[in-house]
């Protein structure tokens, strides 16, 4: 594809050229490629069909993850999270060692330890990595879903952006079944603290144990706020907020 330059940016089609705007700027591309009917039916494109089927399945698993965890991710995601999650799900799908090519799925692969290890550590906001913000160890009880941070002193243990006066910590315990696309997600209480030298034992407890079967996923989020006349406002609309998958079992 080509990038449009100049003062006037075109949108639409002129002959075999299509002009459009994307996240990468104003672009242009020429019509071409193989006809869709041939790709669907020609034996020569069987590998293409298999790749397409698996990519579609991985993209669906990514959407299922994002939709299930939306209450947490709504205030702590970057604008590339869709693409990054789809890429991750494709990598996980490749660990399905039992299904034939074209039918490998995240729902099968996620039962393996290597697949769970890939999902663990996923950051929803690449611009605010949890490990670069929170310098105090955290612990999660994978039976109860309780997340603890012992002796947290925000002014020492948190890297906070200019203007931030308070932080909030929230946890999540989710049961995600990638085979059935059924999820049950329970959030924890929210611990809100001023950014000062006070030491606090943070305990985040889910409202209940999620029901169903599937991958048990645990998340931890840190949000930044600015206090103005007694009201806390989200700092930069959540641009500095971090959300990470801290454990998968």
In this structure, are 135 and 238 located in the same domain?
A: yes
**By residue range, what is the domain housing residue 36?**
8-40
Look at residue 144 in the predicted model and tell me its pLDDT.
98
CATH number, position 235: 2.60.40
Please determine, for residue 49, whether its predicted confidence score (pLDDT) is greater than 80. Answer: no
E strands within the chain? 2-3, 12-14, 17-22, 25-30, 139-140, 147-152, 166-177, 182-194, 200-204, 215-228, 231-234, 242-248
In this structure, are 92 and 202 located in the same domain?
A: no
Say how far apart CA 56 and CA 126 lie, in whole Å.
24
Q: Is residue 125 part of a domain?
A: no
pLDDT tens digits for range 135-144: 999 999 999 9
Look at residue 16 in the predicted model and tell me its pLDDT.
62
In this structure, are 153 and 106 located in the same domain?
A: no
- Out of 24-28, 93-97, 210-214, which region has the weakest mean confidence (pLDDT)? 24-28
Look at residue 238 in the predicted model and tell me its pLDDT.
86
Q: What is the pTM of this model?
A: 0.82
CA-closest candidate to residue 23, choices 41, 1, 38: 1
Domain end call among 51, 81, 115: 115
Please determine, for residue 2, whether its predicted confidence score (pLDDT) is greater than 80. Answer: no
pLDDT tens digits for range 178-203: 999 999 999 999 999 999 999 999 99
Q: Is residue 53 part of a domain?
A: yes
The rounded percent of the chain whose pLDDT value lies above 90 is 75
Please determine, for residue 38, whether its predicted confidence score (pLDDT) is greater than 60. Answer: no
In this structure, are 144 and 182 located in the same domain?
A: yes
């Amino acid at each position: 594809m080509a990038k449009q330059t100049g003062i006037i940016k075109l949108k639409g089609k002129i002959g075999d050229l299509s002009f459009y705007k994307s996240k990468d700027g104003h672009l242009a591309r020429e019509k071409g490629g193989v006809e869709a009917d041939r790709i669907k039916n020609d034996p020569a494109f069987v590998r293409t069909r298999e790749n397409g089927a698996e990519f579609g399945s991985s993209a669906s698993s990514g959407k299922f993850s994002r939709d299930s965890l939306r209450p947490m991710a709504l205030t702590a995601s970057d604008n590339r999270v869709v693409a990054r999650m789809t890429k991750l799900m494709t990598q996980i799908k490749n660990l399905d060692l039992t299904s034939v090519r074209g039918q490998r799925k995240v729902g099968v692969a996620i039962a393996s330890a290597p697949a769970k290890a890939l999902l663990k550590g996923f950051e929803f906001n690449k611009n605010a990595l949890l490990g670069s913000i929170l310098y105090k160890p955290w612990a999660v009880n994978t039976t109860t879903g309780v997340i603890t941070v012992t002796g947290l002193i925000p002014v020492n243990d948190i890297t906070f952006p200019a203007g931030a006066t308070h932080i909030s910590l929230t946890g999540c315990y989710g049961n995600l079944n990638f085979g059935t696309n059924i999820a049950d997600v329970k959030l924890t209480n929210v611990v809100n603290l001023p950014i000062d030298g006070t030491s606090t034992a943070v305990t985040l407890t889910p409202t209940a144990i999620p029901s169903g079967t599937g991958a048990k996923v645990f998340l931890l989020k840190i949000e930044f706020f600015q206090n103005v006349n007694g009201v806390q406002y989200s700092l930069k609309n959540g641009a500095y907020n971090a959300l990470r998958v801290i454990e998968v079992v």
